[in-house]
Amino acid sequence: MQLNVHERFDSRLPADDDHPYRTGAWRPQCVEYDARGLDVTGQLPEDLNGVYLRNTENPLLPSIGLYHPFDGDGMLHAVTFENGAARYSNRFVRTEGFLAEQAVGESLWAGVAEAPSASLREDGWGARPRMKDASSTDVTVYRGEALTSFWMCGDLYRHDPSTLEPLGCADVGGEFPRWGVSAHPKVDPRTGELLFFSYGLEHPHLRYGELSAAGELQHTVDVPLSGPRLPHDMAFTEHYAVLNDLPMFWDDSLMEHGLYVPRFHPELPSRFAIVPRHGVEGTVRWFEAEPTYVLHFVNAYEEGDEIVLDGFFQHRPAIVPDRRRSFEENLFRYLDVTEFQARPHRWRFDLRTGACREEARSEEFREFGMINDTVAGQRARWSYHAIPAEGWFGFTGVARFDLESGSEQRFDLPAGVFASETVMAPRDGAVAEDDGYLVTITMDVVNDESYCVVLDASDPAAGPIASVRLPERVCSGTHAAWSASL
Ligand SMILES: [Fe+2]
């Protein structure tokens, strides 16, 4: 292996750190590497060409008060596959907030589990006051570039997908100057457009926008809500974007005191907005459904007069605090898929009648669904779901889910080994939707190592085709993406 250190950072975290999300699979990294000629177990397929991109939360500085795993600075990882070989790079996302905190060697902004008033800086980014944009949540490939984004809204930071060279922020036309945009912008593979949304404290509380395949802002629309909400994801079809107004939002009475604490309102319905795309003027149509919270959607498509939406329905979005556990332990239960009980679910919105039908698709707790992105917005047959690690915000494997039958086939990692969000990478010249590979990075806390693992997307239970050893154990995080561009 040919290993070069790009930059080495100092960690100011305590040497005997015992925070559950800064140790184990979440142990932060301090070194940026470029590595070539990585050791491979098995044989890398010659027809796997592209980049597995993984964003992670990677703190270097103690928090002002209580550290939450979504507070860490974004660190992007890229495993590039080319002609049967693999190379690796990792870089911190050099956000304005990251650079400002590194310059002074301390945290300047309060984290998501702290009161904004604890921030040392008055300014900030995002859907609530005095917050840092860590650009640590998501990564999306648009116009051949890797865009990182933040779940509470911020800038879209552009990078070369393979070298991770920073390319500045995406220009969204100055239309979203303060809130920024949310994580989970979507790219329509048929048009190359980037579809995005933004949410925040001020009316209209939710906005939707589209960038063209040429990178120009071509359309924005207000989607007024009755108050601030916490939408995390969206979906789209050929003619519509699907946004949401779910009954999990900041407690009004606590917000008056400067505290931002999500509360579930089971007496309110879930509401889904069907927004015309492509700048077509038209009414935003709302559909009501059973109350829940949805962290992630899988896909949406049009079928006759209906829009079909697949996602994960939380059967227990309101977790009752357990008095035997500490405040921190209760806080982190909200990150455990088996606690909030998310299961595959399908909603059908009838544009003719205005009615919504919905159905549970599986009894299994699953989340973080991925599809072959070349069919996004169209009817897909296969999705790939993370199998949750009980008690943790982590995954122990991946399940290939049949969106037609509801059946699944699973691949499980050994005990002590965790998976990242797993992407589907179509093989060169693919002729079927599942003709390709599943790619993920593992965090092995038993042997203190990470591999980038390649599975057959049509038969993941058969086990790894190839495993690429990375220079050091990667810190766990949230989202990943596949770039067909090198
Ligand atoms: Fe997400």
Q: CB-side exposure of 70: number of CA atoms within 13 Å? A: 21
DSSP string computed for 340-405: HTEEEEEEEEETTT--EEEEE--SS--EEEE--GGGTTS--SEEEEEEEPTTSS-EEEEEEEETTT
Note the helical H segments in 32-109: 96-104
- Residues 321, 218: Cα–Cα separation, whole Å: 46
pLDDT of residue 486 exceeding 90: no
How does residue 458 score in pLDDT terms, banded at 50, 70 and 90? very high
pLDDT of residue 96 exceeding 60: yes
pLDDT of residue 327 exceeding 90: no
How does residue 3 score in pLDDT terms, banded at 50, 70 and 90? very high
343's tokens: 């299961």
147 CA → ligand 1 middle, Å: 14
In sequence order, what are the beta bridge partners of 81?
Answer: 50, 86
- Asked if residues 334 and 358 have their Cβ atoms less than 8 Å apart, the reply is no
**Is the model more confident about 320 or about 213?**
213
297 CA → ligand 1 middle, Å: 9
pLDDT at res. 176: 61
**Total-model pTM:** 0.97
Q: Please state the length of the chain.
A: 486
pLDDT of residue 173 exceeding 80: no
337 CA → ligand 1 middle, Å: 13
How does residue 485 score in pLDDT terms, banded at 50, 70 and 90? confident
39 CA → ligand 1 middle, Å: 31
pLDDT at res. 175: 61
Neighbour-count burial of 206, counting CB atoms closer than 10 A to its CB (0-12 exposed, 13-18 middle, 19+ buried): buried
- Residues 271, 126: Cα–Cα separation, whole Å: 23
> Quick one: average pLDDT of 226-249?
98
182 CA → ligand 1 middle, Å: 10
> Quick one: average pLDDT of 232-252?
97
pLDDT at res. 424: 98
367 CA → ligand 1 middle, Å: 10
443 CA → ligand 1 middle, Å: 19
348 CA → ligand 1 middle, Å: 22
85 CA → ligand 1 middle, Å: 30
- Asked if residues 29 and 450 have their Cβ atoms less than 8 Å apart, the reply is no
How does residue 156 score in pLDDT terms, banded at 50, 70 and 90? very high
Work out the percent of the chain whose per-residue pLDDT is above 70: 99
pLDDT of residue 182 exceeding 70: yes
> Quick one: average pLDDT of 318-330?
86
pLDDT at res. 36: 97
pLDDT of residue 177 exceeding 60: no
pLDDT at res. 89: 98
pLDDT of residue 425 exceeding 80: yes
CATH of segment(s) 2-483:
2.130.10
- Asked if residues 411 and 467 have their Cβ atoms less than 8 Å apart, the reply is no
> Quick one: average pLDDT of 80-103?
97
pLDDT at res. 302: 98
- Asked if residues 73 and 59 have their Cβ atoms less than 8 Å apart, the reply is yes
480 CA → ligand 1 middle, Å: 10
What secondary structure letter does DSSP report for 156? -
pLDDT of residue 179 exceeding 80: no
56 CA → ligand 1 middle, Å: 12
40 CA → ligand 1 middle, Å: 30
Helix (H, G, I), strand (E, B) or coil at 166: strand
Residue 373's identity, in one-letter code, is: D
183 CA → ligand 1 middle, Å: 7
For the chain, what is the radius of gyration of the CA atoms? 21
Q: What confidence tens digit (pLDDT) does each residue in 253-282 have?
A: 999 999 999 999 999 999 999 999 987 878
> Quick one: average pLDDT of 122-130?
94
4 CA → ligand 1 middle, Å: 32
pLDDT at res. 432: 98
> Quick one: average pLDDT of 42-51?
98
Q: Tell me the average pLDDT of the chain.
A: 96
